[in-house]
Amino acid sequence: MSGRAAAVSGRAAAVPGSVAQAVAVQEELRPLVDLVGPGPGAPATVAGLDVAYAQGGDLLAAAVTVLDARTLEVVDSAVSLGEPAFDYVPGLFAFRELPALLGALNRLSVLPDLLVCDGHGLAHPRRFGLACHLGVVTGLPAIGVGKTPLVGTWDPPAAGRGAWSPLRDGGDVVGRVLRTQDGVKPVFVSVGHRMSLANATAQVLALTPRYRLPETTRTADRLSRGALASAEQTD
């Protein structure tokens, strides 16, 4: 991010050397998560974050797109190419992507008011998914919007846009199963940092006027895939 951005803690952003160390980092940072917010009521800018992986798994492209929250037009974007920083371990996926995502965030000239992650926040086995991790490290409000669930049970929400049902895990409400368009599959919304669940739901609905997935996710996905394809062609 630019100099206006929140300072990133070197310790919090460091790549752990083992699974045990990674779990310890999550346990250490989890108490820092603000699950109340309420978060920005009317953010001016909203960022989408997404990562595309090469088939061989040794190259990734992390993309961030910043949208005007009113028009949903892209006002800034950045890409960071790199290698997965951590082995694939369920529940520790954030460590694979965090360095590249932070690299992309640091290249922005517009500091977003809200981060929308293609993944989960509180809806995580240790209640510390990618949206929580990025929120704590950057200090920015963050939410997770997953295409599929990582944890929890739920009842299907009603078929109409805006209908939702609670996502529960171990007796806790960890998110909402939200219908963003009439009759389409729901998405899984959870709080990342400095955000209430009700506000997170409202923000996702504002970002999905036409499609199932937020415009932030759609634009970041296109950018990451395009950057990866260009990088592979130059190899």
pLDDT tens, position by position, 113-147: 999 999 999 999 999 999 999 999 999 999 999 99
Q: How many other CB atoms are found less than 10 A from the CB of residue 160?
A: 10
CA angle 126, 129, 132 (to 5 degrees): 110
CATH architecture under which domain 35-234 falls:
2-Layer Sandwich (3.30)
DSSP 204: H
Nearest to 113 by CA among 182, 12, 193, 58: 193
- Domain segments of the chain: what residues? 35-234
Residue 114 is predicted with a pLDDT of: 97
Residue 151 to residue 83: CA distance in whole angstroms: 27
Q: Tell me the average pLDDT of the chain.
A: 91
The per-residue pLDDT for range 62-93, each reduced to its tens digit, is: 999 999 999 999 999 999 999 888 888 888 98
Residue 17 is predicted with a pLDDT of: 84
- Six-digit token pair at 82? 């790199």
Burial of 213: CB neighbours in 10 Å, binned 0-12, 13-18, 19+: buried
Question: For the residues 194-216, what does the mean pLDDT come to?
Answer: 97
Which pTM was predicted?
Answer: 0.91
Give the number of residues written for the chain.
235
CB within 8 A of 127, min separation 6: which ones?
30, 33, 172, 174
Residue 1 is predicted with a pLDDT of: 38
Note whether 120 and 146 are within 8 A (CB).
Answer: yes
Residue 233 is predicted with a pLDDT of: 80
